[in-house]
Chain A
């Protein structure tokens, strides 16, 4: 090699041996573990940025149509159960808390704690999806799922269904379908992210139990934590936009 491209090798290798033993998970193409860990985290943040843009398209559509068809959005939003939504928010925040504890457990190399926090995260994740299923089922029964079976009768004639809403004109009632499209697209996409996350959690539990993350290698846990918190945050935006923003007392 040229004189100018001098060797950094000797110096670095010397340095690395002083610090700590090389982890088995250290990939050969990274100079240091520090670099590997930073690259992983940075990559995860970029991926989440991509995700934000992905959801952003739907948020944009939501804002546009909410502006155009405000009465329909108010009426349709009032059909959602704030109680179930709030329960789900609580479940998800708890799940996020368990995940944060998991990251902590991995960092302090407590294997049992890590496994149990991950299991807790998973259980709360499933609970969230369970509640979501109940909500979807109700929408299905009420014919609020967009498509051929969509029905606006509750919005045109709320009194007949024991609702205290103001009736919507038929043309405006038709626009509630757009609200439900966005509701299903956004919560559905969110649920899909939850399902992917849960699949990853099983894999992480298996590996954690094997002891993979008990010797200072915490990148997968950390990055999954970022992902899981991102999914939480999306919900934190969805909950007020879909459930709360148009809520009126009574």
Chain B
């Protein structure tokens, strides 16, 4: 047989470059793969069993060999068998799957938090140190990384197949996903929820770096201002500090150290202050009034972008004392040229 060597070369190269199985590049990947292989095993066993039955009976009881059928009503015992055994296997799958689900979706407390904003049709990552990336994400290996994600427009879904993680990115609420990369390298980021024209263009690359390389990258690509610093500036320019000044007579509750605590609200409920709570309290304050305070805070719906909200959340998260709040307040009150609240603040 004569195959043109050029064609042959092309074919072998093409086939060699093609993928059949995704890389295992995170700590959860082996767990996901284990369940996957179990399920493939289950499928093959089921398929072979059904195949043996169907083909076996077809050969044994074909009309040439068995001209007259013997009527059988059924068999409770057999039917119970093939009700209970599949049920048992499915229940094993259920428990195994549930355990894996909680493993994948329960972040460790010491995770490095990075914010991700999805919008038509790009991913924007914001590191606490102020590094911004578009359609790219740099993470260290060997360290849990949590992504706090939100969409600015429609549903998106953040997927890194090689890490076996994925989560819907929803407009109007934070969702989180975490992973612990194990191998340095670059991996695909896909948007897997159909989001309009350039859905298939909403892709990016996650670069997993060794801790040293990651430190280097962090230093080289900083924009000079951390998210919290951006947030602080926004906090002052929106006039938040006028009420949330931390002084005893302030009209708004003290925000220093509030992150992670349980808060008593006027409507009687108790809530944990986390990212989602802070974001919601800025946009829909009347539903989140701290006990003992009047519902006087205006809504900032439509006035702050998702980036701005992330800055504010990050700022409040890291706010340990009100010293600087009061300092800024002092200067802005003495300084008549204080910045007016802009309609839309973009950092």
Contacts and interface: CB of A to CB of B under 8 A. Distances in A.
Asked whether the complex places CB atoms of A and B closer than 8 A, the reply is yes
Nearest to B301: A171
Interface band, chain A: under 10
Interface of A: 71, 168-172, 174
B191 to A, nearest CB: 28
Contacts of B286: 71, 168-172
Contacts of A174: 299, 301
A174 B283 CA distance: 12
B16 to A, nearest CB: 53
Interface of B: 283-287, 295, 297-299, 301
23 contacts: A71-B286, A168-B286, A169-B285, A169-B286, A169-B295, A169-B297, A169-B299, A170-B286, A170-B298, A170-B299, A171-B283, A171-B284, A171-B285, A171-B286, A171-B287, A171-B298, A171-B299, A171-B301, A172-B284, A172-B286, A172-B287, A174-B299, A174-B301
A172 B299 CA distance: 9
Contacts of A71: 286
A36 B122 CA distance: 62
Nearest to B297: A169
A71 B284 CA distance: 13
A71 B285 CA distance: 13
Nearest to B299: A171
Nearest to B287: A172
Nearest to A175: B284
Contacts of B298: 170-171
A172 B287 CA distance: 8
Given A170-B286, A170-B299, 14 more contacts: A71-B286, A168-B286, A169-B285, A169-B286, A169-B295, A169-B299, A170-B298, A171-B283, A171-B284, A171-B285, A171-B286, A171-B298, A171-B301, A174-B301
Contacts of A168: 286
Contacts of B299: 169-171, 174
A174 B285 CA distance: 12
B289 to A, nearest CB: 8
